[in-house]
């Protein structure tokens, strides 16, 4: 008898925790939304990084590189948390686009306006993460709450740094 070692199928796992299946699904769904926002922040931040020009080029280029590198690492952690909760993580651009509360950064706007918009994106993503933190806490999911609390702090700091860059 031959046993298949590799399956091309994504399944729900069933961890035995204090949360029932519905609670895990609800929290994982919230984390998937935060993941989608992080993915959009990555794309928007990297787009600004690639296309910044002018007297602020070097400082903004370096700052946004730090931001998008951190976002890249966080995306993997968020997806792995969804899997640890027992559910499949989103895996397509369509999934991310449908879930994200953020839109693409405008490419035809002035640099200051694009930075201001990225500030708004970080703040919107932080507010959404706080909602999922509250959900996780209601379900006694301290790991998810802790992860997202860290995200909120990073998003607030990124927004502050970008806001300070365009302050007059």
The CATH number that applies at residue 52 is: 1.20.1260.10
pLDDT greater at residue 16 or residue 164: 164
CA distances to 11, 57, 133, 161 from 74, rounded to whole Å, are: 23, 26, 16, 19
Sign (positive or negative) of CA dihedral 21, 81, 137, 71: negative
Q: Per-residue confidence at 102, pLDDT binned at 50, 70, 90?
A: very high
Confidence (pLDDT) at 14:
63
Q: Per-residue confidence at 19, pLDDT binned at 50, 70, 90?
A: confident
7 in a structural domain:
no
9 in a structural domain:
no
pLDDT greater at residue 23 or residue 32: 32
Please state the rounded mean pLDDT for residues 135-139.
Answer: 96
Least confident of 9-13, 56-60, 101-105: 9-13
pLDDT greater at residue 92 or residue 18: 92
pLDDT greater at residue 20 or residue 122: 122
2 in a structural domain:
no
Least confident of 30-34, 51-55, 128-132: 51-55
Please state the rounded mean pLDDT for residues 89-94.
Answer: 94
Look at the block and give the residue holding tokens 């806490």: 137
13 in a structural domain:
no
140 in a structural domain:
yes
Confidence (pLDDT) at 134:
98
How many domains are contained in the chain? Answer: 1
Confidence (pLDDT) at 20:
81
pLDDT mean across residues, the chain:
91
Q: Per-residue confidence at 74, pLDDT binned at 50, 70, 90?
A: very high
CA angle, residues 135, 136, 138, in degrees to nearest 5? 65
What percent helix, strand, coil does the chain show, rounded to 5?
A: 70, 0, 30
Confidence (pLDDT) at 157:
98
CA count, 13 A, side-chain hemisphere, 47: 18
Q: Which domain holds residue 118?
A: 21-166
3 in a structural domain:
no
15 in a structural domain:
no
Tokens of 33: 């939304």
* Separation between Cα atoms, residue 47 and residue 50, nearest integer Å: 5
DSSP 106: P
120 in a structural domain:
yes
């Amino acid at each position: 008898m031959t046993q298949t070692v590799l399956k091309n199928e994504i399944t729900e796992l069933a961890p035995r925790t204090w949360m029932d299946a519905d609670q895990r699904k609800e929290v994982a769904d919230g984390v998937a939304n935060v993941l989608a926002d992080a993915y959009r922040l990555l794309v928007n931040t990297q787009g600004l990084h690639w296309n910044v020009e002018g007297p602020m080029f070097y400082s903004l280029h370096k700052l946004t590189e730090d931001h998008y590198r951190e976002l890249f690492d966080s995306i993997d952690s968020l997806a792995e948390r969804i899997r640890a909760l027992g559910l499949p993580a989103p895996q397509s651009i369509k999934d991310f686009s449908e879930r994200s509360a953020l839109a693409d950064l405008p490419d035809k706007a002035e640099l200051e306006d694009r930075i201001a918009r990225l500030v708004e994106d970080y703040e919107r993503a932080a507010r959404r993460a706080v909602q999922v933190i509250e959900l996780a806490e209601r379900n006694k999911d301290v790991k998810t709450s802790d992860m997202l609390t860290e995200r909120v702090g990073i998003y607030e700091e990124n927004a502050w740094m970008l806001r300070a860059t365009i302050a007059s």
